[in-house]
Amino acid sequence: MSQGAGVFFDGVTGARHEVMLDLAPAALRILSPSGAVLAEWPYGDIERLSAPADILRLGRKDNAVLARLEVRDPALIAMIGTHASGVDPGAVLEHHDRVRVVGWSLAAALSLVLLGIFGIPQLAARLTPLIPLGLERRLGEAVDKQIRAMLDVNHSRSFECGAADDERPGKLALDRLTASLEKAAALPVPLRVRVVRRAEANAMALPGGRIYIFRGLIAKADTPDELAGVIAHEIGHVSHRDGTRSALESAGLSLLFGMLLGDFTGGGAVAVASRMVLQSSYSREVEAAADAYSVFLMQRAGGNPHALGTILARIGGATEPAMKILLDHPETKARVATIDAMAHNVGSAPLLDAAEWNALKRICSDS
């Protein structure tokens, strides 16, 4: 059996589409009733999503558009399993999965009680460590889509730097710098660091390991280690799951229940959470923890742990969007002093050589 029926959700409109499925040799083809190709998913990219026992629900790995496919025909389900190695149609819910589902159900009920006792911020802080990393990654994909729309006001196809021929050496240098930090961090989630065409000296971390570096920050950085220090600071936010906690604080229980259902495509909760991630400033304690993480990570990667303090002093404040701290503000001076007090074991050489750093400085060709 190489063809059959299914239900397709494109992840954009939320509409339900009755479709035909064609199991081609290299990919699963999703066809409209008229025979038009709606999507084509290589078998290696397909992953199984949680669903009721009689439904096989599929999605694509690391896909920003949260499309999903549902199949009920047992014969077709079995055939898909023979083509897609990452799909086990006969898999049953393991014990730890059952415990997690029960735990999440109890947490959802308990959250209603805790809301009246502790309030949303305290509740978000307690629930964030319990969120599975897979759900956090999917939340990050949904937030990323919203934030890109907010940042790319001109809807430019080249909003992300590094794709043009003359930008690729800079992209390779950025990847090398990121790889050094990612190896030292040893996080349970992969990082996705991208440079975007924004003039502000800024950077931000989204839920699930996504980090944006604005080209204005690269312009302000004098050394690769200064840029690395800021990236390490943002990796600290990823490690501490600060973006997820901030999203929960802003969007509240509507986002939490969306996470429980695994559906981030509808409603305004993700839009609210995205605006908070884009605009919010973290508390002094959260920023201090990310600063300390940057010092630790730079020392572990063999870079200059003082570099974050150096660039903070130069640009006059933090890298978070809403923290407008002037150079003579005592908090900025205190942060730099704390960073310098923690830092030791300065690396013998920058994390990038001169040629790589020059290439990275030109990663946005129109800057």
The pLDDT tens digits of the residues spanning 133-175 come to 887 888 888 888 888 888 887 776 688 999 899 999 999 999 9
User: Residue 222 — very low, low, confident or very high, per pLDDT cuts 50/70/90?
Assistant: very high
Contacts of 194 (CB under 8 A, 6+ apart): 160, 161, 162, 210, 211, 212, 213
Q: What is the pLDDT of residue 98?
A: 47
Measured between alpha carbons, how far is residue 357 from residues 163, 198, 353 in Å? Answer: 17, 19, 6
Tell me: do 169 and 260 sit in the same domain: yes
Q: Tell whether the model's pLDDT for residue 68 goes beyond 70.
A: yes
CA distance 197 to 208: 22
Tell me: do 126 and 139 sit in the same domain: no
Overall domain count for the chain: 3
Query: Could you please report the per-residue DSSP string of 313-350?
Result: HHHTS-SSTT----TT-HHHHHHHHHHHHH--S--SS-
CA distance 344 to 110: 45
Tell me: do 212 and 185 sit in the same domain: yes
Tell me: do 241 and 229 sit in the same domain: yes
Could you say which DSSP state residue 109 is in?
Answer: H
Domain assignment present for residue 366? The answer is: no
- Whether the pTM exceeds 0.85: the reply is no
81 close to 89: Cβ distance less than 8 angstroms:
yes
User: Residue 251 — very low, low, confident or very high, per pLDDT cuts 50/70/90?
Assistant: low
Q: What's the helix, strand, coil split of the chain in %, to 5?
A: 50, 15, 35
Average pLDDT score over residue span 257-280: 54
> Phi-psi bin for 267: left (phi > 0), alpha (psi -120 to 50), beta?
left
| Maximum alpha-carbon separation in the chain | 72
Q: What is the pLDDT of residue 106?
A: 59
Is residue 111 within a helix (H) or strand (E), and if so which, with residue range?
Answer: helix 95-118
Domain containing 12 — which CATH number?
A: 2.30.29.30
Paired with 214 in beta bridges are 196
CA distance 282 to 311: 19
Q: What is the pLDDT of residue 358?
A: 96
Average pLDDT score over residue span 269-284: 60
Average pLDDT score over residue span 228-250: 88
Gyration radius from the chain CA atoms: 23
Domain assignment present for residue 226? The answer is: yes
Tell me: do 255 and 350 sit in the same domain: yes
CA distance 9 to 41: 14
Domain assignment present for residue 90? The answer is: no
User: Residue 197 — very low, low, confident or very high, per pLDDT cuts 50/70/90?
Assistant: very high
Average pLDDT score over residue span 166-191: 94
Tell me: do 165 and 255 sit in the same domain: yes
Q: What is the pLDDT of residue 260?
A: 54
Tell me: do 152 and 108 sit in the same domain: no
pLDDT tens-digit readout, 10-55: 877 778 899 999 999 899 999 999 999 999 999 988 988 877 777 8
CA distance 144 to 9: 19
Higher pLDDT, 159 or 193: 193
Q: What is the pLDDT of residue 249?
A: 73
232 close to 222: Cβ distance less than 8 angstroms:
no
Domain extent, residue 73, equals 3-83
Measured between alpha carbons, how far is residue 208 from residues 127, 213, 254, 334, 345 in Å? Answer: 15, 16, 19, 30, 30
Domain assignment present for residue 105? The answer is: yes
Tell me: do 40 and 120 sit in the same domain: no
Q: What is the pLDDT of residue 116?
A: 42
Q: What is the pLDDT of residue 213?
A: 95
Query: Could you please report the per-residue DSSP string of 5-46?
Result: EEEEE-SSS--EEEEEEEE-SSEEEEE-TTS-EEEEEEGGGE
197 close to 235: Cβ distance less than 8 angstroms:
no
Q: What is the pLDDT of residue 265?
A: 47
Average pLDDT score over residue span 212-241: 94
Tell me: do 324 and 355 sit in the same domain: yes
Q: Tell whether the model's pLDDT for residue 326 goes beyond 60.
A: no
Q: Which amino acid is at 81?
A: G
pLDDT tens-digit readout, 291-304: 999 999 999 999 99
Q: What is the pLDDT of residue 99?
A: 47
What is the share, in percent, of the chain residues with pLDDT greater than 90?
38
Tell me: do 357 and 327 sit in the same domain: yes
Tell me: do 344 and 199 sit in the same domain: yes
Higher pLDDT, 332 or 188: 188
Higher pLDDT, 183 or 250: 183
Q: What is the pLDDT of residue 276?
A: 55
Tell me: do 190 and 330 sit in the same domain: yes
7 close to 70: Cβ distance less than 8 angstroms:
yes
pLDDT tens-digit readout, 84-142: 877 776 553 344 444 455 555 556 556 554 554 455 566 666 777 777 788 788 888 88
